[in-house]
Structure 1
């Protein structure tokens, strides 16, 4: 069954990421023959990119067909690196400048120990249809959580050598993003207004009451108790009490909001479909909304070490003047 849902990051007219994923097995049980390596493509830097992370001063971006791009000059020039799986990659997380993980379709989990230069497969199961959408690791690089479609939740306590599946919700809504407001707390956002909170680094979870029943595609941490959750139809909700209550924030757009970043100066940037770029100079309380002239669909944003802002989406990484 293929389900093309608003929770699966649609990015442009006619474009919906049809997800194929899986339930977990131990990393050592991965059947390598079912995976094909990503093709080194001349136009990889102009292809759909869905997420990025900082590995020290390096930028690491992931996207369709298993493409992983690196930039060592703050986003000006990008190069593709070899990847052992060609599944679309949706999320990436680093615990320090060397150790990182990327996740995506076919429930693929990849690991790097050299800042993204090379990758190995820790987990994959292409037979089932539950993709992974995001991954988060603690600073120790041992405890990690990957989340995805239909409530898929995998965790590891040994750096990804083994991954175990848990059910943390009675529903099977998609989990689209996971964040760490503090070293001890975790927040998951997803389909149908899903808001899940953990006060003990994921050991136990509580469903938060949500005033919105549409899909959240992503969230940002503004402070230990302050979060923004955003998604379908330009909806933005803000909490300043650890998720106990939420307030709607005016976005001035109906474009789906897919990703964003909190910048070093405290300003906030959100991006989405139809080239939507929302900026806030007051910590995410109000936003000014613009649309890029090219209307390129945007999936995420990241700030480089030099302060340069990079938009990620349908046409690859795009430097954004501020």
Structure 2
């Protein structure tokens, strides 16, 4: 018995010495050094094979690279928007919460600028419909109401450090969102809807959301007596874009055809264009998908994409204007995709600068889409397309720097890719 107690005490003594030595070693190794800050694996998001992002804590985001506190997450991105060559936002949904990230170094590191996780989202937020940023500090997010929940507007003026909440009473669903500056913004909302038609109401703010005014609506008029300066109930809003405080465009998809509406007084009065979606070119399509109008670097240059669908083929064309929609040129793009895999309809940054992807090959145009030059096949891009064959978005902030989001066919996994050479080669961010 005495022998057993002696052995027990000896074991305790040895264990105490071991713990002391271990503590001493740990204390020595925890002294500040000049090595890279630790990268902690955070499993706050349960995402199957998500993309790994290096996230920087907000309080160290503006410090020198070696002083930033970093950790890694895995997340599934569903959309993005570039703000400049080096700046951009990307986001996705984790369960029902939006996870929003901002980068200022080409995607090398990100800052989590998400609003409260208690704000629940049902659908994936889409840029220009549910989310808009005018710069890295000023942004807006729409959370459409479901059931008893009200439609909610969230906005930040400090890069996501704080989010303010507001609402548009009586609004059932926001269908488009556009800001021409941090102060001037528009929200298009729909009320009662039926197949092929919807009540439309346009709200405007000129003080960064301090006050919203209803400047156009079509619900107070009999369907047969809606003024010609109001966007009618017929058709569904596809998208809306404002270049400045007075000039804006809105695409409306009707049961038979589509219309482009133009305003030149900030959204109070609208008129349909007689030159867009109205020519013989559209008659060659069994059906077609009109796109969202986009200004191309100035208030004068604008284009509207169209995807033409026929029995066994898909073709692309675009309407271009260099005088703010007073006149238009329609260009049929000589691009013939054989598959939807590795294919994306053309995108333009300027009138004479566009990109597309056809069957895994990136094409570039410098003459308004009249001709396209293919880049050599990029092995790295091909590797990603093998696992993520759906190209959901491509965007360029300059002639050289662009992002691309690719997804699996079930939309459960995605990868954000970066090009620094005008689209010739791509690598994961």
TM normalised by structure 1 equals 0.68
C-alpha distance 160-250 of structure 1, shift in aligned 2 (>3 A):
same
TM alignment of 1:207-218, pairs within 5 A: 207-209=272-274, 210-211=277-278, 212=282, 214-218=288-292
Q: Does 1:170 align with 2:245?
A: no
What secondary structure sits across from 2:292 in the alignment? Answer: strand
User: Once structures 1 and 2 are overlaid, which stretch shifts more, 283-292 or 147-156?
Assistant: 283-292
Query: Could you report, residue by residue, the CA deviation over 1:161-210 in whole angstroms, capped at 9, with x for unpaired residues?
Result: 34345334113433233223455411222424231111223232111132
Q: Distance in 2 between matches of 1:258 and 1:196?
A: 23
Task: Name the count of aligned residue pairs.
Answer: 279
1:41 is aligned to 45
1:260 is aligned to 347
Q: Does 1:280 align with 2:322?
A: no
Report how far residue 155 of structure 1 moved: 2.4
Query: Is the 8 Å Cα contact of residues 356 and 362 (structure 2) preserved in structure 1?
Result: yes
What secondary structure sits across from 1:177 in the alignment? Answer: strand
Q: Does 1:247 align with 2:330?
A: yes
1:154 is aligned to 203
Report how far residue 59 of structure 1 moved: 0.9
What secondary structure sits across from 1:89 in the alignment? Answer: coil
Query: Could you report, residue by residue, the CA deviation over 1:278-315 in whole angstroms, capped at 9, with x for unpaired residues?
Result: 53222444345789641633343333579421113531
1:296 is aligned to 389
Q: Distance in 2 between matches of 1:61 and 1:180?
A: 22
Q: Does 1:89 align with 2:125?
A: yes
Mark the runs of 5 or more structure 2 residues left unpaired by the alignment: 1-42, 52-74, 146-150, 191-197, 218-229, 310-314, 408-413, 425-429
C-alpha distance 104-191 of structure 1, shift in aligned 2 (>3 A):
farther
C-alpha distance 296-108 of structure 1, shift in aligned 2 (>3 A):
farther
2:270 is aligned to 205
2:417 is aligned to 318
Q: Does 1:52 align with 2:96?
A: no
Please provide the CA RMSD for this pair.
4.0
Q: Does 1:122 align with 2:205?
A: no
Q: Distance in 2 between matches of 1:54 and 1:217?
A: 21
Report how far residue 114 of structure 1 moved: 1.4
User: Once structures 1 and 2 are overlaid, which stretch shifts more, 146-155 or 92-101?
Assistant: 146-155
TM normalised by structure 2 equals 0.53
Which among 285, 297, 304 is matched to residue 229 of structure 1?
304
1:194 is aligned to 259
Which among 81, 92, 101 is matched to residue 69 of structure 1?
101
Query: Is the 8 Å Cα contact of residues 228 and 239 (structure 1) preserved in structure 2?
Result: yes
Q: Which one has more relative contact order, counting CA pairs under 8 Å at least 6 apart?
A: 1
